[in-house]
Structure 1
Amino acid sequence: MLTKLCAEDCGPPPQNKMLCLFASHISQGEMKEEKRTSPAVAMVGFIQGCKWQMQQLRQYLTAKHGFETVQTLFKEIDNIFIRSLLSVQKTIINDKHCFELYGYDILLDQDLKPWLIEVNASPSLTASSQEDYELKYRLLEDTLHIVDMEGRLTGKEKRVGGFDLMWNDGPVYTDVGLETLGSSCLVANTHLAYFKLQTAGPKGAYSSQKKKEGEGRSCIRYRCGLTNTIQDVLNQRPGWVEVKDDGDWDFNWCDVGWLRENFDHSYMEEHVRICHFRNHYELTRKNLMVKNLKRYRKTLEREAGRLEASKCDFFPCTFVLPSEYHIFVEEFKRSPGSTWIMKPVARSQGKGIFLFRKLKDIIDWKKDGSRSEEQKDEAQVESYVAQRYIENPYLIAGRKFDLRVYVLVTSYIPLKALLYRDGFARFSNTRFSLSSIDDQYVHLTNVAVQKTSPDYDPEKGCKWQMQQLRQYLTAKHGFETVQTLFKEIDNIFIRSLLSVQKTIINDKHCFELYGYDILLDQDLKPWLIEVNASPSLTASSQEDYELKYRLLEDTLHIVDMEGRLTGKEKRVGGFDLMWNDGPVYTDVGLETLGSSCLVANTHLGCVNDRQKQLQQLLKPFPGQKRT
């Protein structure tokens, strides 16, 4: 665990015989991404890529290891500061005009031994959050108090603001310790992480600073690797200018191939945004999605019981082939004659998918499972998932369909997710039947598959708007039944995101627009089929184009490159905030039904009066008048 510590060396007198050192006790613990697999990180692995205040860290360690152990640890850290400064005391050219604010980076190993990693002469003073801003504001304010250009100090102070004098040509001891413990017990005058100062920078200074950064840019430079609806949305956004090839950009809507090749080599400034998280595939590759969901369900069962774990029973029985072939065969033989579906783990648009009922149909994967490692390296067989096929799908006019729903994640730590009100149902073009498992037009609802059907009508298409579907289901099954169904669908979104929260590498520059595929069975139970990191943005009709245009426009509103939002909005356009480090509830529900009845802030398939809401919410773009 890297611990960022700050110390101020006010410098010895011109004779260079005395060292005067103040140490701040208002610093923070910082988790750096590149260290997330070190042994000590396991203690607080749930804060990957984030910061803890030093007080939080000290409380955590004290609760886990005891007061005396942690007291010894912090004494050893104090020793690092003193010894490192003494090591250069005779080397540094002393000048009474100079002072230095050092940023120490300390690593703790699993035996709680502190190691000095490096010392920074210019520790970062850029804030990553409001709390971080206030900490650094206090730090710098107290630094100026000690430099004392106004001449308000006597020079005999043992403490100034958050700084404690720890060395003054020798160790400095606390007066409180002498009074309390007796003169024979000398207590070092260091209080790293004992308490937090109550003084702070101006309220809201960080957020206003962030907003000014957005307003200060004359234009937003974007790069787009796609040529469909997103390109139109970006082109028509006021103040946005496209850059080509290697030009500098502020916003990048890239494909996952570009991300894989370039993300790790790209330096991104504070304001820059990109449309994928680094390891988005933990949720969007079929095999990894199932692995993470199974692990999450086991954790829930162990920690919260079977009832809570049962809320994750929304994905079909699934095995990864060829690696889990033998386990799959055991399950296959338990239910002879049942139908299974095979899907390549990393392909989309229905490519490579087929149904089977006999083991001989997948004999190639069985052979691969028995080959040696050398043979596997020579000719790697593509990984597939074998999944129990939903043989009783809900049918409308005798046809199978699934749902495409859009979820936007702007942060994983803390988890912040928004659900889009619009979506659609994708229908197969042929009546459903299990008599012919080889007919892809019956079993696959992907538009890329259905539009190749001989009787496909491009004008009618094969989609229903989500509002149409919800109205149909409500008319047929009643309001309460459909309300329960959509609550269960919301549960799928939340549980699937929580299953990868500790696995996804969180990055403030990243966001992700997921396309969820949900299948309903005849009992109105929703099943998660897959999650897409790059849901198709190519329109199949004018209605489809308008839906995706609205979706992408609202996505850009939330990413908010222009700095027009406060960050507290529960709704932006067609997006509703459904999770913000915990469930979000609608204000209307609280007022209407009473505070004891909490109503989730999700409105999938409900009225999307986004234009009216946006006019009330957003101020005009620079140079625009409000209409």
Structure 2
Amino acid sequence: MEAPEKLLFGSTLGWQLEGDAVDVVDLDEEGEVFCKPCENVSATSGVELDKARPRENRMRGKARPQEKQPEELIREVPMVSGPYFYVSGSNGAGLVSIYCQSRGWQRIYDNRRQDYALKWCEIKCRETYYHFKEGEQLLYQIPNNGVLTSKTGLLSCLREQERMMKKTNRSSNPKLLKMEEFFPESFRLDLKEERNAFFELCKEEEIWICKPSCSNQGRGIFLLRNPTAATTLQAKLHSSEKDPPSKRVPCRAAQTRIVQRYIDQPLLLEGKKFDVRSYLLIACTAPYVLFFAQGYVRLTCSNYDATSDDLTVHLTNQHMQKKNSLYSQLKDKTVWRMEHFNSYINEKFGKTNGLPQDWVFTVFTKRMQQIMLQCFLAARHKLDRKLGYFDLIGCDFLIDENFKVWLLEMNANPALHTNCKVLRDIIPSIIYESLDLVLEIFTKCLQGQSVLPLKTLCHFVLLYNEDDSDLGQKQTWKLSTRTCRGRYLRPHTDSTGHFRSSPAKAADLSPGAQLPQKKECFTAYKGLSTNSPNHSTRATV
């Protein structure tokens, strides 16, 4: 990977770009954060994915004719009515394409087009957010979701929330947990005071885990097992600070890291370490509407050994497990359904640990939901809000041997690949119901209707509806004064020939992966009123 150019990281705002040389920042869960120039679009088949993005005209204040692109690079869009959608990358984009095409929507391949109804991109491009039309389009990923999904961003928000609770008397809101009840003790290494406090503390034989703030796939993670390892890290950080400017990489910010107390006595499943991936859907940001979705269990290939130096013993994500020599034999056994997990806990730990029946679907699920909501509430005042922004966030939880639930991290653009049987059954329904809910809520907002009840709500659970919220002080939320009409969600002309089969049938998926049968909300889009009210007077906190 080439070195980033002119990349500046804001404290917890996720990213910031300087100059014209750089266009995109990758915040995909499947890869480390990096910045690179946009490239020309690659034409692919309907459910295949664009390998690159078109270069934007970035001349500021100068008139410049748009460069002609070779015909083979941008597929000609059929002369049919919209709505249009654009997808790029390889993470879930094939399923998004199937979903949109099953609605009769037409895919476009030119990233510069601004008449899309839905845009789903792994990589954030500043031009996309600059040209986004609030109340008329849908855009995946809140631009500054890093305040919730980066390690330093989440840590900062939770600490700020903790300070506020201490000032205002925690008993006024007993639903909020103390950080120590769900979040491992953490220190930021980019802040001198915290860094020194950590190295003062790290003088005993304890295990700490060091993580880059915005990296995924286990990249850049290592364990600090003893004071000697901590002293070595301290010396390295001190040395890098003293490097003269001539030795530093130009235009590159130092990688922000955190250290967390390692939970070295986790609950084990058949001797293996595991964590649970669940989903937080921010279906709408104006007003905020949030949902919880069950995910799956991720296990390691090898039995757990706290003293092992093999990271595949400690990190459960699929990218890391692929490095284990046993992965090809055990791939399907490294992912469990939640039903399988629940049955195992009932059988192995129910009586011996005094757990209630179906602990996974009662106590554990409720705890995950409580923690997700608390993290969102800590960050909600910092997130960018526009009608049409939505986000799907992967939340990873660990259970220790005392059945205490810990939040490990929250991930932007979570992995939506279907490389094993369990994921082929789970991931499609996650994507389909997410888009169902996003579209239904968007439509109701445009028509000035109440969000509830929701016809497309099936397996997801409503966590938070800002219009009906009693958490905190209520205040009026004002959107842009420009009238929102959702025009790009309406067909441009009358058209026939749109296939209306279910996404599952279009993809020829297994029965377990089919879209849940429910009433469609999409018929509302043909009848969207051109006199939809302005939303500046509707949503309240």
TM range (shorter): 0.5 to 0.7
Query: Aligned residue for 2:457?
Result: 572
Cα distance 1:468–1:294, how it changes in 2: closer, same or farther (>3 A)?
A: same
Work out which of the residue numbers 160, 182, 200 in structure 2 matches 1:330: 200
Specify the code of the residue in structure 2 equivalent to 1:473.
I
2:319 aligned with 1:448: yes
Give me the TM-score of the superposition, normalised by structure 2.
0.64
2:466 aligned with 1:581: yes
Tell me, yes or no, if the aligned pair for 2:439 and 2:522 is still in contact at 8 Å: no
Counterparts in 2 of 1:294-443, with a 5 A limit? 294-305=159-170, 308=174, 310-313=177-180, 314-323=182-191, 324-333=194-203, 336-357=204-225, 358-362=229-233, 363-369=235-241, 380-412=253-285, 414-420=287-293, 422-436=294-308, 438-443=309-314
Query: Aligned residue for 1:224?
Result: 87
Unmatched tracts of structure 1, length 5 or more: 1-216, 586-607
Tell me, yes or no, if the aligned pair for 1:256 and 1:276 is still in contact at 8 Å: no
Distance in 2 (CA, whole Å) between partners of 1:468 and 1:582 is 37
- Cα deviation, residue 614, structure 1: 4.1
Work out which of the residue numbers 122, 141, 150 in structure 2 matches 1:276: 141
Cα distance per residue 1:241-290 (max 9 Å; x no partner)? 111122331110012433xx324421415320101112111011111111
Counterparts in 2 of 1:90-489, with a 5 A limit? 218-235=81-98, 236-245=101-110, 246-247=112-113, 248-258=115-125, 261-268=126-133, 270-305=135-170, 308=174, 310-313=177-180, 314-323=182-191, 324-333=194-203, 336-357=204-225, 358-362=229-233, 363-369=235-241, 380-412=253-285, 414-420=287-293, 422-436=294-308, 438-456=309-327, 457=329, 460-475=332-347, 476-477=349-350, 478-479=355-356, 481-482=359-360, 483-489=362-368
The percentage of counterpart residues that share the same residue type is 24
Give me the TM-score of the superposition, normalised by structure 1.
0.55
Specify the code of the residue in structure 1 equivalent to 2:118.
F
- Cα deviation, residue 227, structure 1: 2.9
Tell me, yes or no, if the aligned pair for 1:238 and 1:621 is still in contact at 8 Å: no
Helix, strand or coil at the partner of 1:560: helix
Helix, strand or coil at the partner of 2:518: helix
With 315-324 and 383-392 compared, the bigger mean Cα shift is at: 315-324
Work out which of the residue numbers 426, 446, 457 in structure 2 matches 1:547: 426
Highest Rg: 1 or 2? 1
With 479-488 and 391-400 compared, the bigger mean Cα shift is at: 479-488
Distance in 1 (CA, whole Å) between partners of 2:409 and 2:259 is 13
Distance in 2 (CA, whole Å) between partners of 1:255 and 1:305 is 39
Cα distance 1:219–1:461, how it changes in 2: closer, same or farther (>3 A)?
A: farther
Distance in 1 (CA, whole Å) between partners of 2:124 and 2:178 is 34
Cα distance per residue 1:317-355 (max 9 Å; x no partner)? 11111323112112223xx00000011111111111111
- Cα deviation, residue 545, structure 1: 2.2
Counterparts in 2 of 1:496-575, with a 5 A limit? 496-560=375-439, 567-569=451-453, 572-575=457-460
Tell me, yes or no, if the aligned pair for 2:425 and 2:512 is still in contact at 8 Å: no
Cα distance 1:487–1:321, how it changes in 2: closer, same or farther (>3 A)?
A: same
Cα distance 1:527–1:374, how it changes in 2: closer, same or farther (>3 A)?
A: farther
Counterparts in 2 of 1:13-162, with a 5 A limit? none
Distance in 1 (CA, whole Å) between partners of 2:382 and 2:109 is 33
Specify the code of the residue in structure 1 equivalent to 2:217.
Q
Work out which of the residue numbers 518, 524, 536 in structure 2 matches 1:615: 518
Tell me, yes or no, if the aligned pair for 2:274 and 2:297 is still in contact at 8 Å: yes
Greater relative CO, 1 or 2 (CA 8 Å, sep 6+): 2
Distance in 2 (CA, whole Å) between partners of 1:508 and 1:325 is 40
Distance in 2 (CA, whole Å) between partners of 1:569 and 1:373 is 59
Cα distance 1:488–1:562, how it changes in 2: closer, same or farther (>3 A)?
A: closer
Helix, strand or coil at the partner of 1:270: coil
Tell me, yes or no, if the aligned pair for 1:345 and 1:383 is still in contact at 8 Å: yes
Tell me, yes or no, if the aligned pair for 2:302 and 2:313 is still in contact at 8 Å: yes
Tell me, yes or no, if the aligned pair for 1:404 and 1:426 is still in contact at 8 Å: yes
Tell me, yes or no, if the aligned pair for 1:230 and 1:552 is still in contact at 8 Å: no
Distance in 1 (CA, whole Å) between partners of 2:466 and 2:179 is 19
Tell me, yes or no, if the aligned pair for 1:322 and 1:369 is still in contact at 8 Å: no
Tell me, yes or no, if the aligned pair for 1:425 and 1:466 is still in contact at 8 Å: yes
Distance in 2 (CA, whole Å) between partners of 1:542 and 1:341 is 31
Cα distance 1:530–1:580, how it changes in 2: closer, same or farther (>3 A)?
A: same
Tell me, yes or no, if the aligned pair for 2:443 and 2:525 is still in contact at 8 Å: no
Distance in 2 (CA, whole Å) between partners of 1:302 and 1:460 is 49
Distance in 1 (CA, whole Å) between partners of 2:515 and 2:108 is 32
Specify the code of the residue in structure 2 equivalent to 1:254.
C
Cα distance per residue 1:354-408 (max 9 Å; x no partner)? 1112313413223335668897785743211111100111101111001110110
Distance in 2 (CA, whole Å) between partners of 1:343 and 1:541 is 28
Distance in 2 (CA, whole Å) between partners of 1:564 and 1:496 is 27
Cα distance per residue 1:114-141 (max 9 Å; x no partner)? xxxxxxxxxxxxxxxxxxxxxxxxxxxx
Distance in 1 (CA, whole Å) between partners of 2:468 and 2:292 is 12
- Cα deviation, residue 561, structure 1: 6.9
Cα distance 1:464–1:231, how it changes in 2: closer, same or farther (>3 A)?
A: same
Specify the code of the residue in structure 1 equivalent to 2:273.
K
Cα distance 1:621–1:460, how it changes in 2: closer, same or farther (>3 A)?
A: farther
Query: Aligned residue for 2:18?
Result: none
Give the length in aligned residue pairs.
379
Helix, strand or coil at the partner of 1:511: strand
Cα distance 1:448–1:610, how it changes in 2: closer, same or farther (>3 A)?
A: closer
Distance in 2 (CA, whole Å) between partners of 1:484 and 1:583 is 25
Cα distance 1:553–1:272, how it changes in 2: closer, same or farther (>3 A)?
A: same
Cα distance 1:240–1:621, how it changes in 2: closer, same or farther (>3 A)?
A: farther
Distance in 2 (CA, whole Å) between partners of 1:466 and 1:393 is 18
Cα distance 1:410–1:372, how it changes in 2: closer, same or farther (>3 A)?
A: farther
Specify the code of the residue in structure 1 equivalent to 2:301.
N
With 293-302 and 393-402 compared, the bigger mean Cα shift is at: 293-302
- Cα deviation, residue 221, structure 1: 0.5
Query: Aligned residue for 2:480?
Result: none
Cα distance per residue 1:121-172 (max 9 Å; x no partner)? xxxxxxxxxxxxxxxxxxxxxxxxxxxxxxxxxxxxxxxxxxxxxxxxxxxx
- Cα deviation, residue 455, structure 1: 1.2
Cα distance 1:622–1:509, how it changes in 2: closer, same or farther (>3 A)?
A: closer
Cα distance 1:473–1:282, how it changes in 2: closer, same or farther (>3 A)?
A: same
RMSD of Structure 2 on Structure 1 (CA) = 3.2
Cα distance 1:609–1:444, how it changes in 2: closer, same or farther (>3 A)?
A: closer
Specify the code of the residue in structure 1 equivalent to 2:277.
R
Specify the code of the residue in structure 2 equivalent to 1:395.
L
